[in-house]
Amino acid sequence: MASTLTAPPTVDDRVSSRSLGARLLSRPEVGSLVGAVVVLVFFLIVAPPFRELATTGTILYQSALIGVMAVPVALLMIGGEFDLSAGVAVTTAGLTAGLFSYQFSTNVWVGVAVSLVVMICIGAFNGWLLMRTGLPSFLVTLGTFFILQGLNLGVTRVLSGTVSSNSISDMDGFSSAQAVFASEFKLGPLNVKILVVWWIVFVALGTWVLLKTKVGNWIFAVGGDAAAARAVGVPVKRVKIGLFITVGVFAWFSGMHLLFNQAVVQSGEGVGKEFIYIIAAVVGGCLLTGGYGSVVGSAIGALIFGMTQLGVVYAGWNADWFKAFLGVMLLLATIVNLAVKRRADLR
């Protein structure tokens, strides 16, 4: 049998360049985008009020309530860690500012600043303990979750005698703080809550940090392979502690919205929210194991959550169904995510 020889090509031609479409499909957030469109179309069909433009503002607000926290949670997950205390930390932030301002009769902005310091400390503590002990973040933050939940209820009861913080609506600086954290404005037929604007700003900022900056490169690296990152000189501990502090700062912001929206904060609030944030991030394409994901995806995940939550109500169904419906939606979105990613990688 004669063997034929061909001159080896000078350029490796085994990898053909991929089309723009294929490259777009391999983005982490594509699966969630498909999921979001499916949810949107579904509710446009079954829930008539969903088609009205005015409800868009409400849906966006509902999504922003989750979306603002989903930004740091997604970054943290890409960095390879979890924070189960993120939900109750929001309540802690609101209570700290409310109770401090009330008890010391200060301008509310003083309470806001104190709360920020406390939240940075909580985030730093989570990160430091994790780095110090090397325990899984699941365990460490589960501990913080219970500690904060207990403190929220206990301290509030001691100081105000009830299950919520005292109303601070008549205190100095309340209206200016409300303008920053919890106001709303009209945009054509839409009532836009300022939180939605902040959400968009935070998503843009988070995406820029993650994709365009050195720190973003480090976040991917510490989540993808912490040992490899350390070996080439990435300060792994500082990056991870920084991510936990970021969660703390965003929890502070969300807590401020909670406080200035109602002037009081219920001390039992926030339990279970941490999973919603994590789910939004995962639906948005973040890998549970870290090293891969997107901030924009987390926003789409939050949007799916918001649409489903309100869609069930607008469709005239009992709200009891919401959780089951949500679970199905999330599973579907994640499966679509996986399938799209596999297909895109093969192209």
Partner 1 sequence: MSTTTGFAEEATTSPTSPIVHLDDVGKSYGNVHALRGVTLAVRQGEITCVLGDNGAGKSTLIKIIAGLHEHTDGVLSVNGEERRFSSPRESLDSGIATVYQDLALAPLMSVWRNFFLGNEITKALGTMDATKMKRIAHEELTKMGISIPNLEQPVGMLSGGQRQCIAIARAIYFGAKVLILDEPTAALGVKQSGVVLKYIVKARDAGLGVVFITHNPHHAYLVGNHFVVLKLGRVSLDTHRADISLEQLTNEMAGGSELEALSHELRGVDPELVVERVEGNGQVAVESPLDKGAG
11 lines the binding site for partner 1 (CB under 8 A): yes
One of 4, 6, 17, 318 touching partner 1 (CB under 8 A): 17
Least separation, in Å, of the C-beta of 250 and partner 1? 20
Strand partners, 185: 192
**Nearer to partner 1 among residue 65 and residue 222 (C-beta):** 222
Q: Which residue has the tokens 């109750």?
A: 88
Distance CA 166, CA 168 (A): 6
Phi then psi dihedrals of residue 266, to 5 deg: -80, 130
135: helix, strand or coil: coil
Interaction between residue 233 and partner 1 (CB under 8 A): yes
In this complex, which beta carbon is closest to partner 1, that of residue 11 or of residue 158? 11
Cα–Cα dist 165/153, whole Å? 10
Which position among 12, 105, 186, 318 is part of the footprint of partner 1 (CB under 8 A)? 12
Stretch that binds partner 1, among 57-65, 232-240, 268-276, 308-316 (CB under 8 A): 232-240
Q: In sequence order, what are the residues at sequence separation of 6 or more whose Cβ sits closer than 8 angstroms to the Cβ of residue 66? A: 273, 276, 277, 280, 302, 305, 306
Q: Which of 143, 172, 230, 271 binds partner 1 (CB under 8 A)?
A: 230
Instruction: Give the CA distances from residue 310 to residues 32, 40, 258, 300, in Å, rounded to whole numbers and listed in that order.
Output: 18, 11, 19, 15
Q: Site map for partner 1, 126-165, x if CB under 8 A?
A: ----------------------------------------
Residue among 210 and 307 whose Cβ is closer to partner 1: 210
Token pair belonging to 246: 């970021």
Question: Over the Cα atoms of the chain, what is R_g?
Answer: 23
Helix (H, G, I), strand (E, B) or coil at 115: helix
In this chain, which stretch among 9-17, 56-64, 253-261, 329-337 interacts with partner 1, using CB under 8 A?
9-17
Taking the complex as a whole, how short is the minimal distance between the CB of residue 113 and partner 1, in angstroms?
A: 25
213 lines the binding site for partner 1 (CB under 8 A)? yes
Nearest distance from residue 221's CB to partner 1, in Å? Answer: 5
Distance in angstroms (rounded) separating the CA atoms of residues 86 and 276: 10
CA pair distance 98, 179, nearest whole angstrom: 16
Site for partner 1 in 22-61 (CB under 8 A): 23
Q: How far is the CB of 78 from partner 1 (least distance, A)?
A: 10
Q: Are 223 and 77 in contact (CB under 8 A)?
A: yes
Measured from the CB atom, is 117 or 228 closer to partner 1? 228
Q: CB-based contacts of 335: which residues, under 8 Å, 6+ apart? A: none
Residue type, 221: A
Contact between 228 and partner 1 per CB under 8 A: yes
State whether the Cα torsion 187-192-197-200 is positive or negative: negative
Cα–Cα distance measured from residue 216 to residue 77, given in angstroms and rounded to the nearest whole number: 13
Q: According to the binding rule CB under 8 A, does residue 292 interact with partner 1? A: yes
Among 1, 158, 227, 346, binds partner 1 (CB under 8 A): 227
Total chain residues near partner 1 (CB under 8 A): 29
Q: How far is the CB of 279 from partner 1 (least distance, A)?
A: 21
In the list 215, 313, 315, 332, the residue contacting partner 1 (rule: CB under 8 A) is 215
Return residues touching partner 1 (CB under 8 A).
Answer: 11-12, 15, 17-18, 23, 212-218, 220-221, 224-225, 227-235, 287, 291-292
